[in-house]
Amino acid sequence: MGHEVITSVQNPLVKRLHQLLERKGREAQGRFLVEGAHLVEEALKSGAEVLTILYDSERNMDAATRRALGSYPLDVQVIAASSAVLAKLSETKSPQGIVAEVKKSKADWNEWIEQKADGQEGMLLLLLDEIQDPGNLGTILRTAEAAGVDAVVLGKGSVDLYNGKVMRSTMGALFRLPVFSRALSEVADEWKARGGQLLVSTLHEQSVSYDEVCYGHKTAIVIGNEGRGVSAAMMERADQLVHIPIYGQAESLNAAVAAGIFVFEAQRKRKDRLS
């Protein structure tokens, strides 16, 4: 446990970390902040590259986070700080008393797909086409991890993966689930070239119900933008257009809800096929 104590919001380290609250700062530094004992613990336990932890000197660090830090194999700069400093680094109305600076994932899509796609038959990917709402993205990632999705690909034009609200909504799933930011058209073309099928979620008149589709083999499901839906480029690449029937008066489902229905249906169908 470090002995340094920071009390001033004008401290150079605090100023640098404060820049990570903005997308521009995160992209420039290749790092992001996580706030709260649970997310810091998850970052440590998952093996993410945690660089710095600041905790409230008046509240101390909770026991679970201390245990995770004690088992963490890398050196971490641990600093006690005043509540004013923690408030400066918080996006919430009630700062949670601990933040961690974490390096962005170095996972490479090309290496990952090369290792996984040819040797694994029952793969399930989720492709997100310009998802804008951070709460939606975080919930989708949390749901995808719970459903056993192999990876999520976030298309260009989407909300920043390392947005604070996204991070909080994932409840740590981001540290356990491979997530890549790529041009979806390129990913779709490569996926199909490797023998995978592409299912595109849309209310198009030619789409079929989600429960009538075969999700076996290698499947990628595309979820579209909250307002505009899936792009024309992804529609053109679809092997099958699929939709979730609406029985009430609502025009559509929330993107996160739709993604959850699709991925759990895919896993249900696979379980039934194997039983």
Superfamily of domain 109-274: SPOUT methyltransferase, trefoil knot domain (3.40.1280.10)
Residues in Cβ contact with 231 at an 8 Å cutoff, skipping those fewer than 6 apart: 129, 130, 184, 224, 225
Tell me if residue 107 falls in helix, strand or coil.
coil
For the chain, the structural domain boundaries read: 5-103, 109-274
Q: Per the CATH hierarchy, to which homologous superfamily does domain 5-103 belong? A: Ribosomal protein L30/S12 (3.30.1330.30)
- Whether the model clears a pTM of 0.85, i.e. scores above it, the answer is yes
pLDDT at 3: 54
Q: What is the pLDDT of residue 120?
A: 65
Determine what percent of the chain falls in helix, strand and coil, rounding each to the nearest 5: 40, 20, 40
pLDDT at 34 over 70: yes
Q: What is the CA radius of gyration of the chain?
A: 21
- Sorted by sequence, the CB contacts under 8 Å of residue 87 that are 6+ apart come out as 95
Q: What is the pLDDT of residue 94?
A: 83
pLDDT of 203 > 70? The answer is: yes
Q: Which residue has the higher pLDDT, 122 or 61?
A: 61
pLDDT (average), residues 48-70: 94
